[in-house]
Each structure stands twice: as structure tokens, then as C-alpha cells.
A = this chain, B = another copy of it.
């Protein structure tokens, strides 16, 4: 596939169909959609009265929480490696 080509992957998230556009593989997009769907199902089960907008926002918050933690871990690891590199 051409590097610039935009792929469209149709996925189901919390009972709604979405067309995801991007250069990533279909496998990657399905994994991403499954992660969001799973998080929405999990939050819906614990909070049956939340509407889908609230569920989706809280799912985004939940995933962003894990993302920010991982960014910090990744940066800590890189900093530790740089620290190693300058040791005599």
C-alpha cells in the first residue's frame, strides 16, 4: 500500500458503526476500537444510568489517564538510559 494512502476501517463501538480513516493497518484500528468499546461497556456496567455521551467522555478520560501514565514511564525510562550513557 502507498504510504500516503488513507484506509477506511468500519468498526462497531458500543452498538454504533464508525468509519475510521487513517494510514494505520486495519488490525491496529480494530484493536483501538475494541479498546474503546471495552472501556465503554465496563463503565456502562458500573453506571447503568449514564448516557452514551457521558460514557464516551469517561472512557476517553480513562484511556487518557493510562496514556499520560505511560508517557511518564516512557520518559523516565529514556531519562534513565541517557543517565547511563553519560556515566564514565
Interface residues of A (CB under 8 A from B): 13-14, 16, 18, 20, 22, 24, 28-29, 31-33, 35-36, 39-40, 51-54, 56-61, 63-68, 70-71, 73-74, 77-78, 81
20 A-B pairs in the complex with CB atoms less than 8 angstroms apart: A13-B61, A16-B54, A18-B57, A28-B68, A29-B65, A31-B68, A32-B61, A32-B68, A36-B60, A40-B57, A51-B53, A52-B57, A56-B56, A56-B59, A66-B67, A70-B71, A70-B74, A73-B74, A74-B74, A81-B81
What residues of chain B lie closer than 8 Å to A22, measured between beta carbons?
65
Chain B residue nearest to A38 (CB atoms) is B64
**Roughly how many angstroms separate A70 CA and B75 CA in the complex, as a whole number?**
11
